[in-house]
A and B are shown apart, each in its own frame.
Chain A
């Protein structure tokens, strides 16, 4: 199993370790409930070094990525980050990702750990298909995942805390000002003091809260993590990360997205520009289901694969389900047929052969 640069820190903090996407990762330290609360009310840090990073560069990289992804990245500001999906030719989803422009004609793609190798293959074969389409094209693809560690610092207090914590960790005054001045989905790059890969700091995250993500040289990850721990920031594991993302209505590959689940199925319409030419444009034709959001009306907690019942019939299946410590209720996403009219209907989930009532709500569950 692969270990992040912070593996020993997690063990020393008493984390419960689990295998996730081939990595030995912390699922929780104190408890998922308290870690979730820390991120919702204050702040917490996550080791997300398992995430993959792929660099696509070359003179034709922007036009290639426009064709590869569900929305155009060309024409964006250099420090602007784009969330997009990598669609397969049938319109299903290979992965969802963030694209950073780290230098002219150089794009840094942040992808899911579980999909990274598949993504690299898909992107490389897509380069081939793109060349067949346009002729010679200057594009190179490089997996740089091993060079980076990644820490996500999330919560409503992050910016306030960062103003004092970052200077104490050796960030220059200019860097602190630039980081605190970042708008959402913008990034800042700074040279690594030891001359390794450049640091990238972005105002992004996967919790629905404000915060930053730090992409740092693998060797520098431990010092940054320890500095944040010493500053009293709560470490949070993958358990809390999954709860937070679901409460915030954010998709997780393998649940709301998959090779046979398109971005449109998952309701990610605003991240799909059907007006531009891209691989997987067929997704409009293959869109047959939609994602609904459910809140438990009883103490019952929904889980993946539970069946959705309406008018006594099975009409769908839960994609993700959890207890929400923030709402103190069970919450779930579920897929139903695109044309199923659920308005005004009482929905139920079948849980251990009982039918328990759920209400349909708008996403996100937690604002």
Chain B
């Protein structure tokens, strides 16, 4: 069973979003990392990049799979987690404590489009 948290919101493309003021912290859900398997590669867009919803903000790869990571919200990437390049396995080990990028929200109303814990639980139940 995948771990779900109460203090984050979820995108249908399996990112979690934690809001800290006007900053959205983005990571990959436990379900997503489990589906991928052991990650051997991760890269994210650099700080300063402006992204729209559903733009690619990076990619993660396991031995046999490659997957894009998408922006759940629009805004400017203010910080990118550069430690992932050398240690992508952090995402497998602590998915909710390993952030990928931090985005300064350009439209906080977009957060309402994201799923809560129950909504995301229903989504992954449907997918698996």
Residues of A participating in the B interface, judged by any CB pair closer than 8 Å: 27-28, 31-33, 36, 239, 242-243, 299-301, 303, 322-323, 325, 352
Additional A-B contacts beyond A33-B38, A239-B63, A325-B40 (10; CB < 8 A): A32-B62, A32-B64, A33-B63, A242-B64, A299-B41, A303-B66, A322-B63, A322-B64, A323-B62, A323-B63
Name the residue on A nearest B59 (C-beta): A352
In the complex the two chains form, is B41's CB within 8 Å of A301's CB? yes
Determine the main DSSP class of B at the interface with A: strand
Q: Is the CB of A32 within 8 A of B37?
A: yes
Closest beta carbon of chain A to B114's beta carbon, Å? 25
Q: Do B37 and A323 touch (CB < 8 A)?
A: no
Our pick among B38, B56, B85 for the contact of A31 (Cβ within 8 Å) is B38
Cα distance A55–B96 when bound, in Å? 55
In the complex, the chain A residue whose C-beta lies closest to that of B86 is: A299
- By a beta-carbon cutoff of 8 Å, the part of chain B in contact with chain A is 37-38, 40-41, 56, 59, 61-64, 66, 85
Are A300 and B41 closer than 8 Å at their CB atoms? Answer: yes
A242 — nearest CB in chain B belongs to which residue?
A: B64
Min Cβ gap A365→B in Å is 14
Nearest-CB distance from B94 to chain A (Å)? 17
User: In this complex, what residue of A is CB-closest to B88?
Assistant: A299
Pick from B56, B63, B66, B85 the residue with the most CB of A within 10 Å: B63
A32 contacts across to B, CB distance below 8 A: 37-38, 62-64
A301 to B62, CA, bound (A): 9
Residues of B within 8 A of A28 (CB): 37
Chain B CB count within 10 A is highest, among A27, A300, A322, for: A322
Task: Kindly report which residue of chain B lies nearest to residue A328, judged by CB atoms.
Answer: B40
For the complex of A and B, list the 4 residue pairs with the smallest distance between their C-beta atoms, beginning with the closest: A32-B63, A323-B40, A323-B63, A31-B38
A55 CB to nearest B CB, Å:
34
